[in-house]
Each structure stands twice: as structure tokens, then as C-alpha cells.
């Protein structure tokens, strides 16, 4: 079959809307008709940073299963699913240790090659992958069944899409990776789609002070509506505030969720951290050279500070996505207001321009026939 999709062909190019051929689902694979896709900044790294191109964008999606390949048991045609941008096989060493966000089946997320070794799309006859083995910027995509989390059909698919990446990544960055505890002082640097959910996670975990940092006033105001106790424009002000509110000790947890990791944003985040504090690195750089960060060894040693990387918020998609969905249903987690604006596939580039201008927290791509 053929489908419409947004493809990034080369660095610094716009998303190109094209018609693609789609392979039939093979053993262990699932054909999904995408309904919605969150517009995550990670897809923008395909524009500016290293990576395989051309590639179909989108990794934060929701949709309906159309067909399944041989041996698929976890979903069936007609099921509603949320995509997991990291597959979870349940059997590898990391899944068995409760670290399915590091599942071995995720080895080819950068190329979009499925665990079977095949590519789901064909562009001018050449094989093409979907970002993070998902390709949610395509109306239809073929995924591994390990990348599909089944949900009840009563769940709205638009807000459900955000549970594919931004909500668990942010929430888990605070709760799991950061280990926020009741009474903690927490600083969240960057209040985009991931950062505002780190705020929600810190609040849920019982932090006494949650300081949001972002130069965009709209994002600061939105973070306050989700429970941030104070918000400021820059890390210098946040560092002073964290020391003041903690009576001189500094932040217990700092979560760095800026759209683009740089040595400067890292240094600013570190300046907020107190003794025995944890800096959670959730942000990614555009270029590998920007990710070479300086560690103050003596400070880390004598203050017992910890730097913790965070992928998918250290979440387990098969348990945490349903848990977060239940929290939303019971009024304990905001999802609906996270969507600032909706875009058609043809408006995708405008959506990312709006994101770069600081006009939206989360844009949502709405697929339509």
C-alpha cells in the first residue's frame, strides 16, 4: 500500500511531504494507521544533528492496528495503541532487570530498521526507516509489536499520543531518574513538552519547591499552572533561588530538559545543584561535540553529586504508560492542556517554526485521509 509521510532528506532541510510505499507486516510486526503524532524536539535533531537521512519522522504517536504479521499476540486488528519509541521485548537482559527503556531491540532506533532487519517504507524504490522504529509522521507505519502498547478504545487518541514520549520522559526524569522525594527542592531547566512533565513528576513525588526555568514567559506561566512553585527566566536566578529556598544547600534534584543541550545550559544547571544532589541529563545536543561536558571533579567528589542520564525517563513503557493514563483518568495528571496547537501534515514545518519561536509547549500532528 501507499501512504503520505513527512521525510527529512538532508541536514537543515524542511520536512518534505511525500507518498511512500509501505511493506506488509512480517512476523512480529504490526501495521498501524496513525491518528495523531506529538511534535517532539527530538525529531528536530534530525534536521540539525547527525543521523541517518532520509528518514520518516515522528516517534510519539497513537493509532489503530490495521493488520498483524505472523506470531503477533499482544495486539490484534482494531486495537488502539500508543507507540513506544523504544521497543520493549520483555526478555533481554535489560528488560529482565526492569530497565526495558534500554531494551536490546532498540539498537537500530536511529536508522528505523525494525528488529527483523527490514525497513517499513520504500522511497523511490529504496528502503527507508521510521525514526525510533515508529515513523509517526506517516499516516500508516509498520512497527514491531514490541513498540505497541494497547489501550482501551475509550481513551482519546489525541492526548494518548503524548504518553508515547514527552509525558513519561519528563515525569520519569523527576520520579525515577532523579529520585525526587517529599520535601526536596527541584529545579527543572527547560519548560517545553518534556520539562512541564518533569514539573508534574516532581509535584507528584512530593517536592516542597519546584523551580521552573525558561526564557519564555508563556511556558513559565503554564508550568506554574501545573504546580511549579516558582519560575524564573535563567539558571543564574534559579541557582540563587534554590539556595534561598533550601536554606543554603541548593537543589536536591536538577532536571535538564532544554531543547538542545549545550555546555552553557549544562553549566547553568550544575550551578543550581547542592550537596548530594542529582543532575538528570534528559536533553540531547544537536552535534556530538556540543555534548562534551566538563565535570568539576573535586566538587562532585566532596559534595557527592551525581550526574544521571535519563532515557525515556527510566520508564518501563508497558507498565508506566498504563499507570500514567490511569493517573490522568483519575485527575492526578494533566494531559489535555499540554496540547497547545494542532497541525495537519502539510502544516508540519509551520508547527516546528512555532516551536522554535517559543509559541507552543506541545504541537500535535493530526492525521486525516
Band of residue 296 on the pLDDT scale cut at 50, 70, 90? confident
142 with 213, same domain: the answer is no
What pLDDT shows up at residue 290? 63
pLDDT in tens, 81-124: 999 999 999 999 999 999 999 999 999 988 999 999 999 999 99
157 with 188, same domain: the answer is no
**Minimal CA–CA distance to 258: which of 22, 37, 41, 13?**
41
Cut 0.85: pTM above it: yes
Average pLDDT over residues 12-22: 95
What pLDDT shows up at residue 41? 87
pLDDT in tens, 1-15: 999 999 999 888 999
What is the DSSP-derived secondary structure letter of residue 162? G
133 with 214, same domain: the answer is no
What pLDDT shows up at residue 47? 82
What pLDDT shows up at residue 130? 96
What pLDDT shows up at residue 209? 98
The answer to whether residue 23 is domain-embedded is yes
Domain boundary, last residue among 311, 330, 356: 311
Identify the residue with better confidence: 65 or 291: 65
pLDDT at 369 over 80: no
CATH code, 160: 3.90.180.10
Domain boundary, last residue among 311, 330, 350: 311
70 with 202, same domain: the answer is no
What pLDDT shows up at residue 46? 82
The average confidence (pLDDT) of the chain is 95
Q: What is the DSSP string of 53-107?
A: SSEE---EEEEEEEEE-TT--S--TT-EEEE-SS---S-SHHHHTT-GGG-GGGG
7 with 99, same domain: the answer is yes
180 with 141, same domain: the answer is no
56 with 132, same domain: the answer is yes
Q: Give the range of the structural domain holding residue 241, as residue numbers without chain letter.
A: 169-311
Rounded Cα–Cα distance for residues 166 and 71 (Å):
30
Identify the residue with better confidence: 109 or 341: 341
Q: Is-contact 28 352, C-beta < 8 A? A: no
Cell of 310: 535519563
pLDDT in tens, 251-289: 999 999 999 999 999 999 999 999 999 999 999 988 766
Sign of the CA dihedral running 240, 245, 249, 253: negative
Average pLDDT over residues 133-162: 97
Average pLDDT over residues 201-223: 98
Sign of the CA dihedral running 176, 178, 179, 183: negative
19 with 160, same domain: the answer is yes
**Phi and psi at residue 185, to the nearest 5°:** -100, 125
Sign of the CA dihedral running 23, 24, 27, 32: positive
221 with 153, same domain: the answer is no
**Phi and psi at residue 243, to the nearest 5°:** -70, -40
The answer to whether residue 316 is domain-embedded is no
The answer to whether residue 78 is domain-embedded is yes
- Provide the b/e sequence for 178-196 (b: ≥16 CB within 10 Å): bbbeeebbbbbbbbbbbbb
What pLDDT shows up at residue 299? 87
pLDDT at 291 over 80: no
CATH code, 179: 3.40.50.720
266 with 182, same domain: the answer is yes
The answer to whether residue 98 is domain-embedded is yes
Q: Is-contact 187 254, C-beta < 8 A? A: yes
122 with 93, same domain: the answer is yes
- Tell me how far the alpha carbon of residue 63 is from its chain's centroid: 18
Rounded Cα–Cα distance for residues 278 and 250 (Å):
11
What pLDDT shows up at residue 205? 98
Lowest mean pLDDT among 26-30, 108-112, 335-339: 108-112
What pLDDT shows up at residue 44? 84
Identify the residue with better confidence: 290 or 271: 271
Q: Is-contact 47 31, C-beta < 8 A? A: no
181 with 138, same domain: the answer is no
The answer to whether residue 358 is domain-embedded is yes
pLDDT in tens, 49-64: 777 899 999 999 999 9
Amino acid at each position: 500500500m501507499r501512504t503520505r509521510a513527512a521525510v527529512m532528506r538532508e541536514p537543515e532541510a524542511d520536512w518534505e511531504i511525500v507518498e511512500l510505499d509501505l511493506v506488509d507486516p512480517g512476523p512480529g510486526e504490526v501495521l498501524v494507521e496513525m491518528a495523531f503524532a506529538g511534535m517532539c524536539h527530538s525529531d528536530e535533531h534530525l534536521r540539525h544533528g547527525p543521523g541517518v537521512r532520509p528518514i520518516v519522522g515522528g516517534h510519539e504517536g497513537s493509532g489503530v492496528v490495521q493488520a498483524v504479521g505472523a506470531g503477533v499476540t499482544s495486539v490484534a486488528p482494531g486495537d488502539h495503541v500508543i507507540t513506544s519509541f523504544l521497543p520493549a521485548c520483555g526478555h533481554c537482559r535489560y528488560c529482565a532487570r526492569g530497565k526495558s527503556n534500554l531494551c536490546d531491540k532498540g539498537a537500530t532506533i536511529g536508522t528505523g530498521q525494525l528488529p527483523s532487519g527490514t525497513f517499513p517504507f520504500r522511497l523511490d524504490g529504496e528502503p527507508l526507516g521510521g525514526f525510533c522504529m515508529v515513523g509517526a509522521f506517516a499516516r500508516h507505519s509498520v512497527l514491531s509489536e514490541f513498540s505497541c502498547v494497547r489501550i482501551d478504545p475509550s481513551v482519546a487518541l489525541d492526548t494518548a499520543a503524548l504518553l508515547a514520549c514527552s509525558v513519561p520522559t519528563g515525569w520519569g526524569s523527576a520520579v525515577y531518574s532523579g529520585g525526587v522525594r517529599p520535601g526536596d527542592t527541584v529545579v527543572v531547566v527547560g519548560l517545553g513538552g518534556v520539562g512541564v512533565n518533569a514539573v508534574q513528576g516532581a509535584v507528584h513525588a512530593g517536592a516542597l519547591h519546584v523551580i521552573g526555568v525558561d526564557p519564555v514567559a508563556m511556558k513559565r506561566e503554564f508550568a506554574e499552572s501545573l504546580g511549579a512553585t516558582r519560575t524564573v527566566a535563567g539558571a543564574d536566578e534559579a541557582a540563587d533561588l534554590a539556595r534561598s529556598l533550601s536554606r543554603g544547600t541548593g537543589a536536591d534534584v536538577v532536571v535538564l530538559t532544554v531543547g538542545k543541550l549545550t555546555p552553557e545550559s549544562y553549566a547553568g544547571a550544575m550551578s543550581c545543584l547542592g550537596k548530594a544532589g542529582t543532575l538528570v541529563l534528559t536533553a540531547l545536543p544537536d552535534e556530538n561535540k556540543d555534548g562534551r561536558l566538563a565535570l568539576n571533579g573535586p566538587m562532585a567528589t566532596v559534595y557527592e553529586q551525581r550526574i544521571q542520564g535519563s532515557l525515556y525517563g527510566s520508564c518501563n513503557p508497558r507498565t508506566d504508560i498504563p499507570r500514567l493514563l490511569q493517573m490522568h483518568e483519575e485527575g492526578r495528571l494533566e494531559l489535555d492542556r499540554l496540547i497547545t496547537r494542532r497541525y495537519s501534515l502539510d502544516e508540519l514545518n509551520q508547527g516546528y517554526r512555532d516551536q522554535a519561536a517559543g509559541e507552543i509547549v506541545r504541537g500535535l500532528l493530526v492525521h486525516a485521509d
